[in-house]
């Protein structure tokens, strides 16, 4: 079975790819910065005495200023020995007074002496950058020494340890070999990470597919489905919790099934036990009425007894019917049929009882041929019950109207009568769903017949509403059958 939520793994994969890419770039950047700083610090430490040696052995400073010949010699030796170095001679205020470069290359003539003095006091062992006269915006590592004659400081020797030529050469190498190597390393890291991520997600997705399969089995009714918690798994705690929950749910379902079976047996037994004495009592009553020589008062009493026996028999039958409808395993036997024919047939059977009370019983739209898809016998019970209740509760000289109309893709079956108003509690109970409006929660004035009607319509998924203003109005909405 294909994992239905594979988009989760797609998003996780994209997130991991972005995360690895960002971390790789950050790592390469941090590595580059750290390597550069290490190189600069080590270079500065190794060359910390360059300026001091110049001041000690070949200083061009004299009481009268700078000896040009000695200065040129220093510049020449620096160029021969270490072309990376740029030597500057500063006065006591930090002004550049001698250098080996055209004036146009010098961008900063006065250099702040704070960092230079700090470096000298530390003996050149600290990592510090100073201003570059040729590039003031980019500090450079340097070596510095104080020139002292006759106990007086007359200037400073300032050596930049990374000249423009060096920076140009390193930039060229970085732009060619180093950058290519870095990109190759980045590509290898990304490819390796993607392969490992794909393999891990493939394994994870396989595990999740197994979890979903087990959950689907349980959802589809296999209450024995469980996870194997003896094997290590990313969702071990969730699987263990599900197994415990499934065990409890399975026990509850078994108890409910047992209770349902016991209820069925109880209803069947009580129905049978009640029918037998009722049948006997009804038989004796009918015999007395037919054969006995009774007074008019006795006949009236026996007829009342016979009527009440019939009421109890109907209640027993309704109780048995409702018990069957409330069963979880009960399924409606649906088939297409013309609802108007059923309505017309049932109305015909109630014409005589309605005429006995001088009730006008009309049917509008009972000649139609629209079909619905439902259980015929169950819909007959609904219609028969509603018309029977209407005949029973409609007063003398009243009216009952049954109307069948087509509205869009629905058939609307309406029952109207001018009997007593339906109680508000009963209307509210009818409008509730099965959980809130079940048989246990029905109001006292809701008979078993109306409970059967409500349950049948719930099984079919039909809308059932009651309104009562000037007249009682019952409405059932049923979808049309389309072959």
Whether the predicted model's global pTM rises above the 0.75 cut:
no
Residue 116: what pLDDT? 87
Residue 9: what pLDDT? 67
Same fold, 236-326 and 335-479: no
Residue 412: what pLDDT? 93
Residue 437: what pLDDT? 46
Reported confidence tier of residue 314, pLDDT bands at 50, 70, 90 = confident
Reported confidence tier of residue 80, pLDDT bands at 50, 70, 90 = low
For 335-479, the fitting CATH number among 3.40.50.1970, 3.30.565.10, 3.40.50.300, 3.40.50.2300 is 3.30.565.10
Q: Domain coordinates of the chain in residue numbers?
A: 48-160, 236-326, 335-479
Reported confidence tier of residue 3, pLDDT bands at 50, 70, 90 = very low
Six-digit token pair at 457?
């319509």
Residue 172: what pLDDT? 54
Q: Which residues lie closer than 8 Å to 457 by C-beta, 6 or more apart? A: 382, 463, 464, 476
Rounded-to-integer distance, Cα 49 and Cα 53, Å: 6
Average pLDDT score over residue span 241-269 = 80
Fold of 48-160: Beta-Lactamase (3.30.450)
Q: Are strands 472-479 and 410-417 parallel, antiparallel or unpaired?
A: antiparallel
Reported confidence tier of residue 2, pLDDT bands at 50, 70, 90 = very low
* 3-class state of residue 275 by DSSP: helix
Residue 48: what pLDDT? 83
Residue 439: what pLDDT? 55
Instruction: Give Cα separations from 259 to 262, 311, 434, 451, 455 (angstroms).
Output: 5, 29, 19, 21, 20
Residues 208-246: b if buried by 16+ CB within 10 A, e if exposed:
bebbbebeeebeeeeeebbbeeeeebebeeebeebbeeb
* 3-class state of residue 313 by DSSP: helix
pLDDT, greater one: 2 or 389: 389
Indicate whether 239 pLDDT > 70. yes
Summarised one tens digit per residue, pLDDT across range 162-189 is 766 666 556 555 555 666 777 777 788 8
CA torsion, ordered 448, 451, 455, 461, to nearest 10 deg:
150
Average pLDDT over the chain reads: 80
Summarised one tens digit per residue, pLDDT across range 270-281 is 777 777 787 777
CB distance 448 to 472 below 8 Å? no
Summarised one tens digit per residue, pLDDT across range 13-53 is 778 778 887 887 888 788 878 887 887 788 888 888 888 88
CATH 3.10.20 fits 236-326, yes or no: no
Phi/psi of residue 356, each to 5°? Answer: -60, -25
Summarised one tens digit per residue, pLDDT across range 289-311 is 777 677 788 878 888 888 888 77
């Amino acid at each position: 079975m294909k994992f239905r939520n594979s988009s989760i793994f797609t998003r996780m994969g994209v997130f991991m790819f972005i995360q690895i890419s960002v971390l790789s770039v950050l790592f390469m950047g941090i590595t580059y910065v750290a390597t550069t700083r290490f190189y600069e610090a080590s270079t500065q430490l190794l060359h910390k005495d360059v300026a001091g040696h110049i001041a000690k052995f070949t200083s061009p400073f004299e009481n009268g200023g700078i000896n040009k010949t000695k200065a040129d010699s220093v510049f020449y030796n620096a160029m021969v020995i270490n072309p990376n170095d740029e030597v500057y001679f500063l006065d006591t205020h930090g002004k550049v007074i001698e250098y080996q470069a055209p004036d146009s290359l010098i961008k900063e003539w006065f250099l702040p002496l704070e960092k230079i003095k700090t470096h000298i006091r530390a003996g050149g062992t600290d990592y510090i950058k100073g201003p570059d006269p040729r590039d003031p915006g980019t500090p450079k590592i340097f070596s510095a020494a104080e020139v002292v004659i006759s106990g007086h400081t007359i200037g400073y020797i300032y050596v930049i340890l990374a000249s423009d030529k060096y920076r140009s050469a390193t930039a060229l190498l970085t732009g060619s070999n180093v950058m290519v190597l870095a990109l190759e390393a980045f590509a290898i890291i990304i490819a390796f990470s993607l392969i490992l991520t794909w393999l891990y997600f493939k394994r994870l997705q396989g595990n999740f597919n197994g979890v979903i399969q087990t959950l689907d089995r349980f959802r589809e009714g296999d209450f024995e489905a469980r996870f194997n918690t003896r094997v290590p798994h990313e969702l071990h705690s969730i699987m263990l919790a599900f197994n415990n929950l499934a065990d409890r749910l399975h026990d509850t379902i078994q108890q409910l099934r047992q209770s349902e079976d016991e209820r069925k047996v109880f209803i069947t037994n009580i129905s049978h036990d009640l029918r037998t004495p009722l049948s006997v009592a009804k038989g004796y009553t009918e015999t007395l009425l037919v054969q006995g020589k009774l007074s008019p008062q006795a006949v009236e009493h026996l007829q009342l007894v016979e009527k009440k026996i019939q009421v109890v028999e109907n209640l027993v039958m309704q109780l048995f019917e409702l018990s069957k409808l409330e069963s979880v395993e009960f399924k409606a036997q649906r088939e297409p049929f013309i609802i108007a024919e059923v309505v017309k047939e049932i109305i015909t059977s109630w014409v005589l009882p309605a005429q006995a009370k001088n009730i006008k019983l009309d049917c509008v739209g009972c000649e139609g041929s629209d079909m619905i898809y439902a259980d015929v016998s169950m819909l007959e019970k609904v219609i028969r019950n509603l018309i029977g209740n209407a005949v029973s509760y409609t007063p003398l000289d009243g009216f009952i109207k049954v109307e069948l109309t087509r509205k869009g893709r629905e058939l609307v079956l309406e029952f109207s009568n001018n009997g007593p108003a339906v109680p508000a509690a009963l209307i509210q109970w009818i409008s509730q769903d099965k959980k809130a409006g079940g048989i246990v929660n029905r109001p006292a004035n809701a008979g078993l017949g109306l409970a059967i009607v409500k349950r049948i319509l719930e099984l079919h998924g039909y809308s059932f509403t009651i309104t009562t203003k000037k007249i009682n109005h019952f409405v059932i909405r049923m979808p049309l059958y389309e072959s």
